[in-house]
Structure 1
Amino acid sequence: MSPHLSRRRFIGVTAAAAGLGLVPFGLAAMADAHLVTWHGQAMGAVATLQVHHHDRAVAVRLVERSLAEVRRLEAVFSLYREDAALVALNRHGILVAPPPDLVALLAECRRCWELTQGAFDPTVQALWTLYRDHFSRPDADPSGPPAPALREALDRVGFGPVAFDANRIVLPRRGMGLTLNGIAQGYVTDRVVDILRAGGIESSLVDMGEPRAVGSRPSGEPWRVGVADPEHPELVGDVLEATDRAVATSGAYGFHFDRDGRFNHLLDPRTGTSGRLYRSVTVLLPTATAADALSTAFSLLPPEDIRHTIQRLGEGQVHLLTVSGDAVMLQA
């Protein structure tokens, strides 16, 4: 497997209690406020948390609670930790007494699956495994996996019959697996927002893989969120304003299974092929969970279906960059 470009994941929190102005990173805080900063790793990415508060002890507690929550959720949603609940589910096909957060996130998966008529589907893990294994071989056919193998993988895709409640989660077919990589970062972002708000934070920009603006900036202006340039993902291609909105972007540039870039991570659960409709799709919605999931699904849908979906939602804004370079904005 040879990724062309990895999706950049910078995890950050910049938060201020009501009435406090934010100060530039690395400078001393205002005389009446305390700045507590933490650097490290979270959700597999470089992370920075900054919290400003009149009471330094409160700021420290908010940072500690946020980090504890991120680490707790990593132990639920990770595909790579042997002790993760999701790994146990995929290994055995059943999970008894599942963590409540896993059940809650699967309920949101169901909602997004229904909204998009199956375009968002966490059971695409079987397809991911197929492409990963195929292109990991030194003699891999550059045209992709053989048709019989693709059909076999598609037989293990389909969220409809997955059963879950507070007592158990059951995958109905042998060899099925779930991936929550298209929604979990948004969920973690929303949980950190809940912690900050409970601690009195009313102005914040939280990014656990998908940014969410809490309120406006202390100046009263909207937060400004950069969107990656699909041709040069390390650069900002557009800047969007957000107040009490999450911003999530998906694009084929994020990850490629093959060196030539023909097969990307946006796998269509209906066909098993990679999405190629757009260079990038950016979604603005009140929660990062929904924005994260729908930016993935919308990458596989034509504009008329996207418009229909956000009309059903009754809210949201979608920015499409087509393969020809045209910018299209859809709004509920």
Structure 2
Amino acid sequence: MAKLMTRRRAIGIFAAAAGLPLLYSSSVANSSPSAFVWSGQALGAPAKLILNDHDAARAHRLIELVVTEVARLERMFSLYRDDSDIVELNRAGGLVAPEPEMLALLHVCYGFWESTGSLFDPTVQPVWELYRDHFAKPGADEQGPDATVLRDRLKRVGFDGVKFGSGRVAFTRPGMAITLNGVAQGFVTDRVVEILREAGVESSLVDMGEERAIGAQQGGEPWRIGLAATQDSGEPDAVLSIVNRAVATSSSAGFVFDQSGSFGHILHPRAGATPERYRRVSVIADNAVTADALSTAFNLMDVASIRQVLRGYPDACVDLIDLTGSRQELGRQA
């Protein structure tokens, strides 16, 4: 049976401000005269918003607006809801009159699919389902699914088989399905940042599955983000200081299908195997959707390939730990 974790990656907020509560409570709380914290859920994962604003009424209105918008986007992108647009797309093989945000995110996915040599591929979902169903059975073969069945599932994978335009999204091969879990959290985080910036917010830390900072903390100090391979790691293996930047971390250990942890959730779209390269890969970028997508794809690449892809993203850098425990920093801030 799969060893479930609440998030596909773990990343912690450290010393955001004195006295800020770090427990998720599905509520809005005042932790200082001008700091407001909302904690809840977004796309099946814990979410948090820290908003610094001296106008309490405005802060609460903005938080309500954010919660409403996140719920609206969740109805499009969540695989955890039977009534979501993506579940309907996977069920029917097509979606009529898709929402603009769905089309926008598919365009984003196509860009990352191209830039990563097709290693970022949301159509890997049928392979993910194969591993899930295999290890959910009592006495499942610890070596994984049957190789012939796996090869058949891999024939359904390929983002070039997703056709989308203003009037419809459709799969061109039978049995296809997509997951946006490797990018939707970053997309939603960026949308929340957009809402807050349009309202004039100058200091906030947004975590809708990935973290992105607006400005610095109230006192001018950077926001501090802790990195770890899994949410229950206890202590971070590194702490980043960020201002107006986004951070996303992916790790194959963040979700595993089997009790031994040999089969993780980050699957190669052509081989179907779980790579064993890194304990974690963290990407720092100017926006959360870029950090989110690249952190997923980079788990499938060697360091030389990561460096090559980073040339196309001059605002991004990588902080990773390999299986030996060695830490490397790649890109602009390295």
TM-score normalised according to structure 2 size? 0.90
1:13 to 1:170, Cα distance in 2 relative to 1, 3 A? farther
Larger mean CA deviation between 215-224 and 183-192 belongs to: 215-224
Q: In the alignment, residue 202 of structure 1 is paired with which amino acid?
A: E
Cα distance per residue 1:108-161 (max 9 Å; x no partner): 101111110011000010111100111111121110011110001100100013
Count of residues paired in the alignment = 323
Cα distance per residue 1:257-292 (max 9 Å; x no partner): 011111000101011000211111010011101100
What residue ranges of structure 2 are gaps of 5+ in the alignment? 22-29
- For the residue of structure 2 that corresponds to 1:293, the secondary structure is helix
Which residue number corresponds to residue 162 of structure 1? 162
Which residue number corresponds to residue 18 of structure 1? none
Which residue number corresponds to residue 27 of structure 2? none
Answer whether contact 2:50 2:206 (CA < 8 A) is retained: no
Which residue number corresponds to residue 147 of structure 1? 147
Pair 1:324-2:324 in alignment = yes
Which residue number corresponds to residue 191 of structure 1? 191
Larger mean CA deviation between 65-74 and 4-13 belongs to: 4-13
- For the residue of structure 1 that corresponds to 2:237, the secondary structure is strand
Q: In the alignment, residue 133 of structure 1 is paired with which amino acid?
A: D
Cα distance per residue 1:12-71 (max 9 Å; x no partner): 999xxxxxx9663376643xx4x5444443332344444342322211210011000110
Answer whether contact 1:10 1:208 (CA < 8 A) is retained: no
Cα distance per residue 1:165-212 (max 9 Å; x no partner): 121111111110000011111111111111111111111111111111
Distance (whole Å) between structure 2 residues aligned to residue 10 and residue 322 of structure 1 = 16
Answer whether contact 2:115 2:309 (CA < 8 A) is retained: yes
1:291 to 1:9, Cα distance in 2 relative to 1, 3 A? closer
Which residue number corresponds to residue 58 of structure 1? 58
Pair 1:25-2:20 in alignment = yes
Which residue number corresponds to residue 112 of structure 1? 112
Pair 1:69-2:64 in alignment = no
Superposed CA RMSD in Å reads 2.4
Q: In the alignment, residue 139 of structure 1 is paired with which amino acid?
A: G
Q: Give the superposition deviation at 1:324.
A: 1.2
- For the residue of structure 2 that corresponds to 1:328, the secondary structure is strand
Answer whether contact 1:4 1:261 (CA < 8 A) is retained: no
Distance (whole Å) between structure 2 residues aligned to residue 68 and residue 10 of structure 1 = 25
Percent of aligned pairs sharing the same letter: 48
Q: In the alignment, residue 248 of structure 2 is paired with which amino acid?
A: A
1:72 to 1:232, Cα distance in 2 relative to 1, 3 A? closer
Which residue number corresponds to residue 85 of structure 1? 85
Counterparts of 1:200-215 in structure 2 under 5 Å? 200-215=200-215
- For the residue of structure 1 that corresponds to 2:160, the secondary structure is coil
- For the residue of structure 2 that corresponds to 1:110, the secondary structure is helix
Which residue number corresponds to residue 127 of structure 2? 127
Answer whether contact 1:281 1:319 (CA < 8 A) is retained: yes
Pair 1:260-2:260 in alignment = yes
Answer whether contact 1:10 1:47 (CA < 8 A) is retained: no
Answer whether contact 1:9 1:46 (CA < 8 A) is retained: no
Distance (whole Å) between structure 1 residues aligned to residue 279 and residue 260 of structure 2 = 16
1:95 to 1:187, Cα distance in 2 relative to 1, 3 A? same
Distance (whole Å) between structure 2 residues aligned to residue 83 and residue 8 of structure 1 = 22
Distance (whole Å) between structure 1 residues aligned to residue 61 and residue 250 of structure 2 = 33
Answer whether contact 2:37 2:48 (CA < 8 A) is retained: yes
1:40 to 1:6, Cα distance in 2 relative to 1, 3 A? closer
- For the residue of structure 2 that corresponds to 1:134, the secondary structure is helix
Answer whether contact 2:11 2:228 (CA < 8 A) is retained: no
